[in-house]
């Protein structure tokens, strides 16, 4: 399957939708978006402090001044990042908000100098339309894998597919996009 390396075919953000970097004051809204999805085990459950610590990773989508979606790109290694916590309010799905967030995250990944983006998801069609393809096995060399094992981040444990987190990731697909 060919790897998509451009967003030329990506739809523009829908009218009235503003995608912007998150601020600390958005953390409450981000947590409210994530809560039901974490409850349903679609997204990883995290403590409030983890959102403040990673707020610079996040963008939010705003409609009429209200946050209706969020997403983050987390750097894993020199060339590699992970799309995390992509969520759109249930009443707004299917209107292009998720795509607008993901397009912005890909842009952000490129600005950071990343050349590959990983994600772990049930939404394989959505990510597939954005150039991600399913991968088997690890996305990093054994030397980098060994370095990443030193991380305390639960998301990194899931990226590494460690035995202890496998119950959390059951049914998720590992996907990668070359930027």
Ligand X SMILES: CC(=O)SCCNC(=O)CCNC(=O)[C@H](O)C(C)(C)COP(=O)(O)OP(=O)(O)OC[C@H]1O[C@@H](n2cnc3c(N)ncnc32)[C@H](O)[C@@H]1OP(=O)(O)O
Residues forming the site for ligand X (CB under 6 A): 11, 14, 37, 42-43, 83-88, 93-99, 119-123, 125-126, 129
Comparing CB distances to ligand X, the nearer of 99 and 148 is: 99
Q: How far is the CB of 143 from ligand X (least distance, A)?
A: 25
- Residue 104 to residue 73: CA distance in whole angstroms: 10
Beta strands 80-88 and 116-121: pairing type?
parallel
Q: State residue 84 phi and psi, 5-degree precision.
A: -130, 155
Q: Find the shortest distance in angstroms from Cβ 121 to ligand X.
A: 4
- Taking the complex as a whole, how short is the minimal distance between the CB of residue 160 and ligand X, in angstroms? 16
- Return the number of the residue (54 or 99) whose C-beta is nearest ligand X: 99
Sheet with strand 80-88: strands edge to edge: 17-21, 58-63, 66-75, 80-88, 116-121, 173-178, 133-134
Nearer to ligand X, 40 or 143 (CB): 40
Chain position whose Cβ is nearest to ligand X: 98
Look-up: residue for tokens 């069609």?
Answer: 125
How near is the Cβ of 67 to ligand X at its closest, in Å? 13
Q: CB 138 → ligand X: shortest distance, Å?
A: 17
Please say which residue, 142 or 167, places its beta carbon nearer to ligand X: 167
Nearer to ligand X, 33 or 140 (CB): 33
Q: Are 42 and 88 in contact (CB under 8 A)?
A: no
Strands 116-121 and 66-75: unpaired
């Amino acid at each position: 399957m060919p790897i998509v390396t451009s967003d030329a075919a990506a739809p523009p953000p829908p009218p009235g939708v503003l995608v912007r970097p998150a601020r600390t004051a958005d953390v409450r809204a981000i947590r409210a978006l994530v809560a039901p999805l974490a409850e349903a085990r679609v997204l990883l459950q995290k403590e409030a402090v983890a959102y403040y610590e990673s707020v610079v990773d996040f963008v939010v989508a705003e409609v009429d001044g209200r946050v209706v979606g969020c997403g983050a790109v987390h750097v894993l290694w020199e060339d590699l990042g992970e799309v995390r916590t992509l969520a759109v309010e249930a009443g707004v799905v299917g209107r292009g908000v998720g795509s607008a967030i993901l397009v912005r995250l890909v842009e952000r990944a490129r600005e950071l100098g990343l050349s590959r983006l990983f994600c772990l998801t049930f939404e394989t069609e959505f990510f597939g339309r954005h150039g991600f393809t399913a991968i088997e096995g690890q996305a990093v060399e054994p030397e980098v894998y060994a370095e990443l094992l030193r991380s305390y981040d639960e998301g990194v444990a899931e990226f590494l597919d460690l035995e202890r987190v496998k119950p959390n990731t059951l049914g998720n697909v590992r996907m990668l996009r070359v930027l």
